[in-house]
A and B are shown apart, each in its own frame.
Chain A
Amino acid sequence: MDKFKKNVEAFKEVCRSLAATFRFTGEAIAKGSWKVKASAVIFGFGHILRKQFLRGFAFLAGEAALLWVVFGFGWQYISKFASLGDSSGGYNPDGTISYGDNSFFILLYGILVIIAIVGFFILWGMNLRDSYRCEKRLAEGRKLPTSKEDWHSLFDKNFAQTLLTIPVIGIFVFTVLPILFMICIAFTNYDKDHTPPAALFDWVGFENFRKIFDFGGAGLGSTFFKVLGWTLCWAFFATFLNYFLGMGVAILINRNGIKFKKFWRTILVMTIAVPQIVSLLYIGKLFATDGLINLFLMNHGIIDRAIPFWTDANYARVLIILINLWVGIPYMMLIATGLLMNIPADLYESARIDGANSFQMFRKITLPYMLFVTGPFLLTSFTGNLNNFNVIYLLNKGQPKSMSLSDGAGATDLLVTWLYTVTVTNNDYKIAAVIGIMIFIVTAVIALVVYGMLPSVKDEEGFQ
């Protein structure tokens, strides 16, 4: 409950500061001089008149850029945003091709224009408030920072802005915009039958979400929940088996009297060093019906028929978890080795004097310490495993396909590999978008719930 109250407080605080910002913007318009008021139309006007050229022209350039986005090319898209275009292209009677509306670009640029309009108002307010603040400063008889000082502050006081501008723009264009776009796609009928420029796609509301929860004949409900179930099951085993076995291997190598510790570790670390595209593809083929293991066993008469490693759903699922041990144990071994050395040796010493055996020491000292310290790591590796594309895809591409799963899903498909198949093989972008949103929801819910339960979050000082 405490946490809930804290969140409410934080939310109230944000609201308060937003309200204060609005009030101050209003005050700037009401009480500012004509220079400030002119800035509401021509951004940076006040600054330029006050010879703060750098700031002034920066605001002006921002305004020009945003206006260009909105009116330069954006209006023709945003005006069709509600219908996503109404005339599809086609062949004219004289054989030439006429290009109609392109729903894809209408949606993409529409989102961009909406963001540009919001950005325009934020910039507008920033420019007004800053102009008014400078004016007040002058009235108090203090000096304004010159352009030169502004420039220098970009490498000192405001260095964060300089550092973050390019990364933030990059993330905006290549992550935020595409994610917003795909969220919108989940509410359209964009698929291989509705691919621009040949055809239009259109808003369909919650139709796709209904389909993914629909257990009827044409619905994807049973497939979705089967894939989700396997995804959770896989993430559980992949995380915890790797965790405990990796810790076990680390303890084994750390054991007193074992020589060549570095040598053993190096052998395991090879797995991390060799690119997975090489090692996993090779291992995947080792177990193929006509792979080395099956052929070897058959040539020597040990089995008559190939073991269906990848063609039987249950074999494939177990095998993929086992092979993931090969991938994950070395990684965990590295982490555990470093952490085990941090446990004070006298804890073990006193436990030994009290007559504890090694298993008791592991249970009472090592494990609680490791769980405490690596709690956040367990969480991130669990969510990472939910989306562990490489292992599944490189080993067997989510095979085997099965009659009980529709839309290209296979028995070992995780939600994320299914998403890939749906996008690339089926070109069913609307369903891919819905699956993506579902993955997000699953990840976010697990992350939020578990994060609150972590001992190291609840009790930060506990082990220090």
Chain B
Amino acid sequence: MSRKRKIGNFFAYVLLVIISVIWLFPFVGLVLQSFRSYNTEFGGMVGYLVPKHFSLDSYIYLFSGECKFVRWYLNTLIIALFVTAGQTVVVVCVSYALSRMRFVGRTFLMKTWLILGMFPGFLTMICLYFLLKLLGLTQAGAVPGLILIGVASSGMGYYVCKGYFDTIPKSLDEAARIDGATRAQILISMIVPLSKPIIIYTALVAFMAPWCDYVFASYVAFGHSNSYNVAVSLQNWVWTNDYQGFFTRFCAGGILVAIPVTILFMCLQKYYVEGVTGGAVKG
């Protein structure tokens, strides 16, 4: 290795270490502050990173009867699981129909959905709220309501999945049809197993979204704390005027939210990379 190259690599390593420190700093801070003792050091924001006393005060608070964090956590988990299942099925169905079949109105459908996608999602918030209210799915019924909202319009997000289906050779379909398989059989027994990576990607993205859904969840569950999800509680803890007392609790709650999602993501990272790269190239 040449001397020039060695020097270059040295600087590259320095740069990478700096980048790593910047990128990891918030997570380290989050973990450390979640262990700060609430009783001796006050739960607000302080000017030092490492707590003087480590304790589990904030975590104990989350699991005590004082707040409904466990309930909110379960709400979010239920929403995430149902939305994942629903969205994956819907997206696979829509992608197969648009990728493999030619029918009257296909281009019309695709163009309409493309145009609809250009409207900002929050525009229709008030209308969706009243639609859900008509169905009795607000406040106390917010959890099924949020599942419904999450699944109902997910057909419009077919692009990545359809792009993947397009790369599976059509000759496979034709061979199966000659053998007497119906379209439904082809989808279930051939396309789905072949598309495992993209289906996992779709499910993963669908699973992660509800954990961050503050906007609709707070609007639909307004004033009914039993229906909150974790995003609403975290946001409230940070932004209420007495967040000074709740900051370490927010950190602890954040850690509990982040751990399962992060572990899941890291395990399925390979599929995620495949999904975003494929999606980026096809647009």
Interfacial residues, chain A to chain B (CB-CB below 8 A): 104, 108, 152, 155-164, 166-168, 170-171, 173-179, 181-182, 249, 252-253, 255-258, 264, 266-279, 281-286, 288, 290-292, 294-296, 298-299, 326, 330-331, 334-335, 337-339, 373-377, 379-380, 383, 387, 389-390, 393-394, 397, 415-416, 419-420, 423-424, 429, 432-433, 436, 439-440, 443-444, 447
Query: Please, which residues of chain B bring their CB within 8 A of the CB of A272?
Result: 265, 272
26 of the cross-chain contacts (CB-CB < 8 Å) are A104-B130, A156-B182, A166-B90, A170-B155, A177-B127, A177-B131, A179-B116, A252-B16, A255-B8, A257-B1, A266-B266, A269-B265, A270-B27, A271-B23, A275-B211, A282-B30, A296-B49, A298-B47, A331-B276, A335-B276, A335-B277, A338-B277, A339-B277, A379-B283, A444-B115, A444-B118
B120, B148, B282: the one within 8 Å of A387 (CB): B120
Given contacts A108-B130, A168-B155, A174-B128, contact A152 B123 (CB under 8 A): no
Task: With both chains docked as a complex, state the minimum distance between the C-beta of B158 and any C-beta of chain A, in angstroms.
Answer: 9
Task: With both chains docked as a complex, state the minimum distance between the C-beta of B14 and any C-beta of chain A, in angstroms.
Answer: 11
Complex CA gap A175/B155 in Å reads 11
**Residue pair B182, A170 in contact (C-beta under 8 Å):** no
Query: Please, which residues of chain B bring their CB within 8 A of the CB of A374?
Result: 280-281
Complex CA gap A387/B123 in Å reads 12
Query: Please, which residues of chain A bring their CB within 8 A of the CB of B183?
Result: 155-157, 159
Asked if B156 CB lies within 8 Å of chain A CBs, one says yes
**Residue pair A296, B127 in contact (C-beta under 8 Å):** no
Query: DSSP majority for the A interface?
Result: helix
Asked if B70 CB lies within 8 Å of chain A CBs, one says no
Query: Please, which residues of chain B bring their CB within 8 A of the CB of A177?
Result: 127, 131
**Residue pair A295, B47 in contact (C-beta under 8 Å):** yes
Query: Please, which residues of chain A bring their CB within 8 A of the CB of B5?
Result: 256-257
Task: With both chains docked as a complex, state the minimum distance between the C-beta of A445 and any C-beta of chain B, in angstroms.
Answer: 10
**Residue pair B131, A249 in contact (C-beta under 8 Å):** no
Interface-forming stretch among B52-60, B94-102, B192-200? B94-102
- Tally chain B residues at the interface, Cβ within 8 Å: 95
Complex CA gap A29/B44 in Å reads 77
Task: With both chains docked as a complex, state the minimum distance between the C-beta of B81 and any C-beta of chain A, in angstroms.
Answer: 16
**Residue pair B257, A275 in contact (C-beta under 8 Å):** yes
- Given contact pairs A163-B94, A164-B93, A257-B9, a sample of 11 additional A-B residue pairs in the complex whose CB atoms are under 8 Å apart: A166-B93, A167-B155, A175-B116, A274-B262, A295-B45, A296-B48, A375-B283, A376-B281, A377-B280, A419-B123, A433-B123
Interface-forming stretch among B61-69, B164-172, B212-220? B212-220
Complex CA gap A306/B182 in Å reads 69
Task: With both chains docked as a complex, state the minimum distance between the C-beta of B108 and any C-beta of chain A, in angstroms.
Answer: 9
Complex CA gap A374/B280 in Å reads 6
Query: Please, which residues of chain B bring their CB within 8 A of the CB of A282?
Result: 26, 29-30, 250-251, 254
A176, A281, A298: the one within 8 Å of B254 (CB): A281
Complex CA gap A166/B148 in Å reads 12
Within 8 A of A (CB), among B3-27: 5, 8-9, 12-13, 15-16, 19-20, 22-24, 26-27
**Residue pair A390, B212 in contact (C-beta under 8 Å):** yes
Query: Please, which residues of chain A bring their CB within 8 A of the CB of B44?
Result: 290
Query: Please, which residues of chain B bring their CB within 8 A of the CB of A270?
Result: 23-24, 27, 262
Task: With both chains docked as a complex, state the minimum distance between the C-beta of A8 and any C-beta of chain B, in angstroms.
Answer: 16
Q: What 0/1 pattern do residues 108 to 131 of B give for CB contact below 8 A with A?
A: 010001011011111111111011
Which B residue's beta carbon lies closest to that of A258?
Answer: B12
**Residue pair A281, B283 in contact (C-beta under 8 Å):** no
Task: With both chains docked as a complex, state the minimum distance between the C-beta of A228 and any C-beta of chain B, in angstroms.
Answer: 13
Complex CA gap A270/B148 in Å reads 30
**Residue pair A182, B23 in contact (C-beta under 8 Å):** no
Task: With both chains docked as a complex, state the minimum distance between the C-beta of A279 and any C-beta of chain B, in angstroms.
Answer: 6
Task: With both chains docked as a complex, state the minimum distance between the C-beta of B132 and any C-beta of chain A, in angstroms.
Answer: 9
Complex CA gap A257/B94 in Å reads 45
Query: Please, which residues of chain A bring their CB within 8 A of the CB of B234?
Result: 277-278, 281
Given contacts A159-B97, A282-B29, contact A292 B120 (CB under 8 A): no
Query: Please, which residues of chain B bring their CB within 8 A of the CB of A279?
Result: 26-27, 30, 258
Query: Please, which residues of chain B bring their CB within 8 A of the CB of A158?
Result: 103
Task: With both chains docked as a complex, state the minimum distance between the C-beta of B156 and any C-beta of chain A, in angstroms.
Answer: 6
**Residue pair A163, B97 in contact (C-beta under 8 Å):** yes
Complex CA gap A181/B129 in Å reads 13
Complex CA gap A299/B101 in Å reads 67
Query: Please, which residues of chain A bring their CB within 8 A of the CB of B254?
Result: 277-278, 281-282
Query: Please, which residues of chain A bring their CB within 8 A of the CB of B26?
Result: 279, 282-283, 286
Query: Please, which residues of chain A bring their CB within 8 A of the CB of B93?
Result: 163-164, 166-167
**Residue pair B211, A170 in contact (C-beta under 8 Å):** no
Which B residue's beta carbon lies closest to that of A273?
Answer: B265
A296, A373, A377 interface centre (most CB from chain B within 10 Å): A377
Which B residue's beta carbon lies closest to that of A377?
Answer: B280
Given contacts A274-B262, A279-B27, A440-B119, contact A170 B153 (CB under 8 A): yes
Given contacts A277-B231, A298-B47, contact A175 B97 (CB under 8 A): no
Which A residue's beta carbon lies closest to that of B13?
Answer: A258
A160, A161, A182, A338 interface centre (most CB from chain B within 10 Å): A160
